[in-house]
Amino acid sequence: MIEYDAVIFDNDGVIVEPSDRGVLVEAVADAFAAFDVTVEREQAAQSVKEGVVPRDLLDEYGLDPEVFWHRRELTASLAQQVHTREGGKPVYDDVTALETLDVPLGLVSNNQHATVEFLLAYHGIGYFDTVYGRQPTLAGAARRKPEPHYIEQALFDLDATEALYVGDSEKDIVAAQRAGVDSVFLRRDHVTDTTLSVEPTAEVPDLWALVDRLEKSSESG
């Protein structure tokens, strides 16, 4: 690994624990209910899994996709905030390792920007110089990773030319490659058995190991 002028992190599964799938499924069902539409749990779960607007259902009930998506994003964000206040989505213990990094730090998440801002404020996490989550629009959804849009925005903000992106999914690695930056796959417990079809620049088990590699790279440079 080379010496980097910025390090950018994913949020869910890297900084805080992943969102509870059940909370998100219920949020989708609640979003439909706001338009007096009842959906099967399986349909709501499929929408969460695919992360897209269920066009067939929207067409069936005559719902505007943009209006529905905005409601879905708001409902999902508020549901995660409630879940967090009830003890969900805690911060990983090794996040304190970031205190030792002497480069600008950013955060880019596929979660809603409002959710990310809430999580950072609620947990008192202040390490990041720039933060991006998805905007609550169809255009914002289309710019999620593996698209590099939000990573590129963070790179611009940090004025970085040799950056590193740290994530816990294949989408993170692909997005980093598309943005032209190196990547680290963080193999936490929830992705122990994940097999990647793309090759990250490096792989680490936790953030302490990441910081150790970065510091050694800096010393050797």
Task: Kindly report the average pLDDT of the chain as a whole number.
Answer: 95
Question: Among residues 183, 177, 175, which one has the least CA distance to residue 201?
Answer: 183
In CATH, the number for domain 6-18+90-220 is 3.40.50.1000
Q: Report d(CA 46, CA 43) in Å as an integer.
A: 5
Which DSSP category does 92 fall into?
P
Could you tell me the two tokens for 92?
Answer: 């990983």
Right CATH number for 21-85 from 1.10.8, 1.10.150, 1.10.10, 2.60.40? 1.10.150
Give me the pLDDT at residue 2, please: 74
Specify the pLDDT at position 1: 63
Q: Any idea where the domains of the chain sit in the sequence?
A: 6-18+90-220, 21-85
DSSP bridge pairs for 183: 165
**pLDDT reported for residue 54:** 86
Q: What pLDDT score was predicted for residue 217? A: 72
Contact 4, 182 (CB under 8 A): yes
Helix (H, G, I), strand (E, B) or coil at 6: strand
- pLDDT of res. 26: 97
pLDDT at 165: 98
90, 89, 92, 95: which is closest to 208 by C-alpha? 95
- What digits encode the pLDDT tens for the residues 67-104? 999 999 999 999 999 999 999 999 999 999 999 999 99
pLDDT at position 51? 86
The dihedral over CA atoms of 67, 72, 73, 77, expressed in degrees to the nearest 10, equals 150
DSSP assignment of 103-129 equals S-EEEEEEEEHHHHHHHHHHHT----S
Q: Which residues of the chain have pLDDT under 70?
A: 1, 218-221
The DSSP secondary-structure symbol of 195 reads: -
